[in-house]
Structure formats: structure tokens, C-alpha cells
Amino acid sequence: MNVDDVVNAFVPGPRVRIPGRAGGPLAGLSFAAKDLFDVAGLPTGGGNHDWVKFNPVPESHGWSVQTLLDAGADFVGKTITDEVSLGILGENPFDGTPTNPAAPDRVPGGSSSGSAAAVAAGLCDTALGTDTGGSVRVPSSFCGLYGIRPTHGRIDVTGMMPQAPSSDTTGWFARDAETFVRVSSVMLGEEPGPLPTRLLIAVDAFGFADPEVAEALQPMVARLAGIVGEVREEIMAPQGLSVWSKAQRTLQPVEAWATFQPWVESANPRMAFSVVAGLLNGAQMPAADRSWASLMRQEARARLRHLLPPGTILCLPTTPFPAPKRGLPLPALQPLRDRINCLCAQGGLTGSPQVSLPGATVDGAPVGLSIIGGRGTDAALVAVAQAMENAA
């Protein structure tokens, strides 16, 4: 195992290795954890140097870290994250921006940037991330990885830094389906399956993605259709992808402000301009907007319950385009973030599980195909990932 951090995936400083329990189901695997997860005795950095100064070093492992160690995987380091998980592109001015191993001139995606980069570069077999608004799914798509956002509430988030609790989830990455299945079985406490029998193709989401992306994903969709059987085109968000996104981009910043306000007001921390702008957006959100967004969340949940009875999954492009170039100025980034959010909002809004599958590229850069199931059907999505690789 190469432990030389050639892609700037790990947080700066000496790296601690913690061996997993001998003989577990993940024996022989190594894992990293996004620097939002507590590892006993190590500071939880949160991607911001004024976070670590104002928060104590944890005395116990977070639930997910402990679970992977108990299953036999070796912990090999903490990975770079966007500041306090507020970012979708993976650029961090404190610890640096990890290299996207699949497309080195492009961003890795975030906020679980270092975890994705470490797995994609082969520095570890799997890595923990968090996904509130897309922070596992987007780097999965951009780095060409398997990545899961589990059903909201399914994975214990003890020892994971919160952002917007009603949307926060713990996810993980892998390079191959076999590892993805092994890790998922442990984390979910459930073997893969059953395979779904109906596939919905989200025509609104495919239409919203760049045409090159929709086209590049067609062979994967065809393979998926071959596995699942019955296929139907459907509109995922009849109210509008941008409307679902607007609702999520209302609720999430309000919760994030509630989470970080005590720290911000006591520490007046240094943060990237764009991160403060996002927090203030939440601080200043009008009550009427919040009320509307809560109602739209109910509509979105009802829509996915209606579309996704047991045995049915839906597919869509994980991101509307492959990773943008590194170092773009803020005015160029904002419209890209906005478009990404339109394809990711359903996760935080509805809590449905989603897996991003690798296998397509545009201009040489990866882009993922996502599958979504009804709440609690995480293991069925994992089974699809396995079947997709077997059918490749």
C-alpha cells in the first residue's frame, strides 16, 4: 500500500495508523476518515484552523471509525475536507486542495475531497465521508468512484461533526464493487440485495445535465436496464429540480447557521469568503422562505415515496458535468455550484439513499451514474453496484 500522499489527500502533519481488530470481515483493508470524524486522541480539524483551536481533542472514536476498526480495517489517516463541510468543489485554503487523481487539472469535488482523492489514488481501500448536500456523491462522480449516501438516519452519526442535522449522513467510497460491497455490508449491517425489478430514468435530470454527460452515461443506463428489467422514463421532480434545490438551499444553510453560530460568535473565525457568504445566507433567511421550503420538502418526499415503491429504483446523472478546472474565480464557480445542487438536492431533502457508480467519462474526466431507491433500500442499491460491475 502506497502511503506517500502524492495527491495531498491527508491533513498536514504526522499520520497515525490504527490497526483494525484481527480476523474481522474487513481484515486486510485500509481506510481513511474525513477530518470531520472523531478519532480518539487526534484533533478533529474540520478543515478550518480556527475550528480545531476552539474544540477539544476527542477521547473516543466516532461510530463509523469504531465500526470499521472493529470489522478489521486499518485506519491510515484523516483526510482534507472543505471548511466545516461547507463546499461542493473540494477547494480548501487552509489544508490545500487535494488532487483529483482521475483528472489532475480539475477539482476533486467536495466536501469529502481528501477521502475521494485518497481512495482514487490507491492510498487506501475505502474512506469515510459525509454527505449533506452532495459531499460524497459529487466527489464520487468527479473522481470516478463508488460512493454512497445512505438513507438519512440509518448510520449512527455519533462522533461526526454536524452541519445540517436533518440532511447529514455518513457515506463511504471505494474503487471497485467488491470492496464497496464488503464495506457497505459492515456499515449497513446487511448483505446486498434484493435486486430491484423496475428502473425509472429521470428524464428531467438527464435533460438538465450537459448533453455530453447524458450521452456518455447511456451505455451504463443500458447495462442497468439489462440488470433490472422493466424500464420507464419519469420526471423525478415535477415541481422543478431548481425548486427542489431552492428548498434544500433554504433549509440547509439555516440549519448550518444554527450549528456553527455559537462557534462563529465566540471565535470570529477566519474562513474563506465564500464559506462566510453561505453561512450568512442561512443567518439572514426570511421565515417565510423557511416555511415554504419545509412544505416543498414534504412534497419532494411524497414524490419519491410515490415513485419508488420496493423493487423500483431511479437513475440520474450524479452531476451535470465532470469536475470543473481548479482555481476558477468565484463568479465562475457560483453558477456551477447552483447546477450541481439541482441534481443533488433530493438527497438532503428526502433522505433517500443514493449510490453513485463510476464508468463514464467526458473529455477524459469521470462522471457518475446515480441510482436512488426508497428509504431503507440501501442494500438493494449496493446489490445493483455489484451486478453492474459483474455485467461490465
* Choice from 91, 255, 378, 389 touching a copy of itself (CB under 8 A): 91
Handedness of CA 358, 75, 130, 272 (dihedral sign): negative
Provide the Cα torsion 237, 239, 245, 251; round to 10°: -120
Pairing of strands 169-174, 146-149: antiparallel
Number of residues binding to a copy of itself, judged by CB under 8 A: 21
Known catalytic residue: 356?
Answer: no
Under rule CB under 8 A, residue 176 binds a copy of itself: no
Sequence-distant (6+) residues with CB within 8 A of 29 are 20, 72, 73, 74, 125, 126, 179, 182, 183
Taking alpha carbons only, the member of 261, 260, 258, 326 closest to residue 46 is 260
Instruction: Indicate the residue among 273 and 286 with the shorter CB distance to a copy of itself.
Output: 273
Sequence-distant (6+) residues with CB within 8 A of 14 are none
Looking at 64, 85, 111, 184, which residue is catalytic?
111
Instruction: Indicate the residue among 31 and 94 with the shorter CB distance to a copy of itself.
Output: 94
Shortest distance, CB of residue 278 to a copy of itself, whole angstroms?
10
Shortest distance, CB of residue 268 to a copy of itself, whole angstroms?
5
* Choice from 32, 264, 296, 380 touching a copy of itself (CB under 8 A): 264
Handedness of CA 70, 154, 156, 350 (dihedral sign): positive
Under rule CB under 8 A, residue 330 binds a copy of itself: yes
Known catalytic residue: 34?
Answer: yes
Under rule CB under 8 A, residue 54 binds a copy of itself: no
Under rule CB under 8 A, residue 274 binds a copy of itself: yes
Q: Which stretch binds a copy of itself (CB under 8 A): 304-312, 326-334, 370-378, 383-391?
A: 326-334
Under rule CB under 8 A, residue 270 binds a copy of itself: yes
Amino acid at 205: A
Known catalytic residue: 352?
Answer: no
For 268-282, b where at least 16 C-beta lie within 10 A, e where not — what string? Answer: ebebbebbbebbebb
* Choice from 110, 269, 348, 368 touching a copy of itself (CB under 8 A): 269
Sequence-distant (6+) residues with CB within 8 A of 335 are none
Catalytic residues: 34, 111, 135
Q: Which residues bind a copy of itself (CB under 8 A)?
A: 50, 91, 93-94, 264-266, 268-274, 276-277, 279-280, 329-331
